[in-house]
Amino acid sequence: MNMAQEHRILDAASSEHRHRLLEGMAHAVADKGYSDTTIADIVRAAGVSRRTFYEHFATKAECFIALYEAASFNSLNVLRAAIDPAHDWQAQVEKAMAAYFGCLAQNPVLMRTLFIEILGLGPEGLAARRRVNEEIAAFMLQVVNVAERSPDKNVTPLAPEMAMAVVGGINELVLQAIERGRVSQLQELVAPAVRLVRAVVG
């Protein structure tokens, strides 16, 4: 085995350990909540050593934010994959919302992490949430404002602050569903979310 092969094996093992740690964090937080979760809980759920944890993360908070960002950007990738420029923007938005809520509903273990537990992390958590929301708002701007250059005269340019307002509104709908124990019915949010986007765009 040459050095390049050894490095590839080590990189693969490192990636696998990181993935297991993020899954361990997700399960521990779902079971105990972030504040009561310890590093011992995380490594136990991940099936790795405490030393392995510190090879990847300096603190519990760093691991938690990594989980939050990985899960959030996975959801964003689902949104992006749902877009088909061959259709008008209204159809694209509806399809993207259905895909997004479907993705969230398939991962109930992560729901509290993504929408509730992150809020209790303080400034670090708020900064991570802001980064994710800005990415989603930028995606919305791209979809709608590209459509604005089409012959559809009913579409007006979407301002960045309004895109962020829509993202905030959709987040509140999801939070409400979590609080009411209706995560399995997230697809019911597609219609009001689409109406919100249409109302803002005009």
Q: Give domain limits for the chain.
A: 1-57, 60-201
pLDDT at 11: 44
Range 1-57 classified under CATH 2.60.40.1530: no
What is the value of pTM for the model shown?
0.80
Which residues, at least 6 apart from 198, have a Cβ–Cβ distance to it below 8 Å?
Answer: 90, 93
φ and ψ at residue 126, rounded to 5 degrees: -65, -40
Which residues, at least 6 apart from 156, have a Cβ–Cβ distance to it below 8 Å?
Answer: 148, 201, 202
pLDDT at 155: 60
pLDDT at 150: 53
2: DSSP letter: -
Which residues, at least 6 apart from 26, have a Cβ–Cβ distance to it below 8 Å?
Answer: 67, 71, 109, 110, 113
Confidence of residue 147 (pLDDT cuts 50, 70, 90): low
Q: Are 97 and 75 in contact (CB under 8 A)?
A: no
181: region left, alpha or beta (phi > 0 left; psi from -120 to 50 alpha)? left
- Both tokens of 76, joined, read 């964003």
CATH of region 60-201: 1.10.357.10
